[in-house]
Structure 1
Amino acid sequence: MASARKVGIIGLGHVGAHVANSLLLQGLADELYLCDVKAQKVLSEAQDLHDSLTFVPFNTKIVNVGDRYEELASCDIIVNAAGNVAMAAGNRDGELFCTTDSARSFANRVVDAGFDGIWVSIANPCDVVCTTIWHLTNYDPKKIIGSGCGLDSARLHSEISKKCGISPKSIDAYMIGEHGFSQIAAWKAATIAGKPLSELACEYPEQYGFDQAEVEELARKGGYVTYEGKGCTEYAVANSAVRVCAAVLHNEHAVLSASTLMCGQYGEEGIFTSLPCVIGAEGIEQVYTLDLSDAELEGFHKSCQHIRDNIAQLAWW
């Protein structure tokens, strides 16, 4: 028999709880380990998820871990969703001190207990938190994956789809850089059916000749349209994290925009940020660089500098 697929979730706020629910609905985890510093919150979420088992594809063992982080060591994947979304009302940098302090409270405890799986981190600012986990633990950076611009790329697909009437699933385009307001759309490399959007805009201007700057800004700020009426984002970001989990658990070798350690791409190194990555059972297998315009390359470097500026604010670094 195959070994049980174990996924742990740290932080059961809006996003963490939806990650758990999406994992159940997709039948991805055999065992689900729930972790939060709020004891009643974990108890309540565990009860609600257990009551859902009648309606999901497969039975899943639901384990209340509380704040006993060492019990996550046997997991194949740990999803870090620990944060305080109210602090992100203005921008994702608002959670900077909260989420990095949270990472300091559990990262070494998990790794020192023998964890050898994949970190999937959603907590914002995503790139800083991923860099923090790596910095604290000296863990294999290929096994630390930030959800990063995976969600922003989906938002870009959605906005392009609205303009040209093509299914979002048929659009190959990426937001790259920081998962925040400094991210950029890699327009020069964007294609549909292998045909550059720039060529399609020339051939079919009424359909594809949309304002790229407008679409990019809609993708960049889409999360805050959601936040305005709900006080949080939850469905799409949770599903973006679960998409990464699926790529790992099924060893898909899927290409997704994700935050990973820069090792010289475009001259950047030492920080996590988003580029298209091949993701499989061992984490990040390859990192692709795209053909960027001069303006896009400049934007990417500025985005990386913003991440460094945030890191510089952490007194303990």
Structure 2
Amino acid sequence: MTMEKVSIIGSGNVGANTAFFIAEKGITNVFLYDVVDGLSTGKALDMMEAAPMRGYRNRISGIGDIADIAGSETVIIAVGAGCSLGTKREDLLTLNWPVVSDVMEQIRKSSPNSIVVVATEPVDLLVTMIARNFPIPRERLIGLGGILDATRLKSAVARELSVSPDDVAAMVIGRHSSDMVVLPEYTRVSGIPVDRLLSAEKIDALKAEIAGAGALMAELAECPGTYYTPSAAAAEVVDAIHMDLKRILSISTVLNGEYGICGAALSLPCVIGKNGVEKVLEPVLNGAERDALDRSVAAIKEIVSTCTE
């Protein structure tokens, strides 16, 4: 049976905006759920009243029973606390893991064959924890990690070079944190490697900029975390899955031998289609890039082991 809906667990800023972006792209119908009574229904009604002006034809429906996610092609987890300024990721894991774990139990019961997309932070740690605690195939478990960093890098490179973002392809792998690994050789402007257009110092400055982008925007807007970019990224992933686009996106996936690493989730470029993660690609890394990747793995495993003690 073809599954023609996407369900979003959590109707806050990320969840609601993801529903809106999915509708705007005309991908499929959306079910929106939240534990707060009436929140998902109210937001869904608001968005559907905008449909005649915005021109989207798919339905956004608020549901009061999480069991109604049954039969979803994809389920997006957008619950829990945001990553505000000064919050350590290990502390955020402690806060959000019990909530995400409960949601995963509900997904397992109501829609066990769905592809799960994790938008909650800290994404790599949560994807690692989910893989260790739930029998979900890795191809059906996706975290919004490097795709956010790559999008921000793409925007920054376009700004610095005064070119269209459409002509920039950016690649960021590793942990979705300040330890992210920017790959200049794979970040290109109309096929030209960015390190031939920008100095090493400027590339380092852009890396620092995007590493702190989420915290900076949260501070300026006086709100916990960001939501437009994560929501847009979630919609891109859903589009790639539902339309079987075979897009190459840098998403957080549990490594199973890539670079000799197992048991930790990091972002790598992956082919995303109707089956979820259909192929994991391994860019050629130099020594410094590989060392950075190894440090990220060590940090993830240490934090996760502490959380499970």
Q: What TM-score do the two structures reach when normalised by structure 2?
A: 0.92
The Cα of 1:98 is off from its aligned counterpart by: 2.4
The Cα of 1:210 is off from its aligned counterpart by: 5.7
The total of aligned residue pairs comes to 306
The Cα of 1:146 is off from its aligned counterpart by: 0.8
Match of 2:269 in 1: 276
The residue correspondences of 1:74-89 to structure 2 (distance < 5 A) are: 74-85=71-82, 88-89=84-85
SS at match of 1:39: coil
Match of 1:35 in 2: 33
The residue correspondences of 1:52-67 to structure 2 (distance < 5 A) are: 52-66=50-64
- Kept in 2, the 8 Å contact 1:253–1:280? The answer is yes
C-alpha distance 62-92 of structure 1, shift in aligned 2 (>3 A): farther
The Cα of 1:55 is off from its aligned counterpart by: 2.5
C-alpha distance 268-217 of structure 1, shift in aligned 2 (>3 A): same
The Cα of 1:177 is off from its aligned counterpart by: 0.9
- Kept in 2, the 8 Å contact 1:161–1:167? The answer is yes
- Kept in 2, the 8 Å contact 1:145–1:259? The answer is yes
- Kept in 2, the 8 Å contact 1:73–1:116? The answer is no
The Cα of 1:16 is off from its aligned counterpart by: 0.8
Instruction: Tell me, yes or no, if structure 1 residue 15 matches structure 2 residue 6.
Output: no
**Gapped regions of structure 1 (runs ≥ 5):** 202-206
C-alpha separation between the residues in 2 aligned to 1:292 and 1:65?
Answer: 46
Instruction: Tell me, yes or no, if structure 1 residue 177 matches structure 2 residue 168.
Output: no
C-alpha distance 153-78 of structure 1, shift in aligned 2 (>3 A): same
1:222 to 206, 213, 217: 213
The Cα of 1:74 is off from its aligned counterpart by: 0.8
Percent identity between the aligned chains?
Answer: 25
SS at match of 1:52: helix
1:46 to 37, 44, 49: 44
> What letter is aligned with 1:130?
V
Match of 2:144 in 1: 147
Match of 1:204 in 2: none
Q: What TM-score do the two structures reach when normalised by structure 1?
A: 0.89
C-alpha separation between the residues in 2 aligned to 1:131 and 1:10?
Answer: 19
Give a deviation string over 1:164-195, Cα, whole Å, max 9, x none.
Answer: 22322222221111111221211233333333
CA RMSD of aligned residues (A): 2.0
Match of 2:251 in 1: 258
SS at match of 1:211: helix
C-alpha distance 29-56 of structure 1, shift in aligned 2 (>3 A): farther
1:138 to 135, 140, 163: 135
The Cα of 1:92 is off from its aligned counterpart by: 6.2
C-alpha separation between the residues in 2 aligned to 1:293 and 1:4?
Answer: 42
Give a deviation string over 1:110-169, Cα, whole Å, max 9, x none.
Answer: 223343121111100001112222223211110111111101101111111222223222
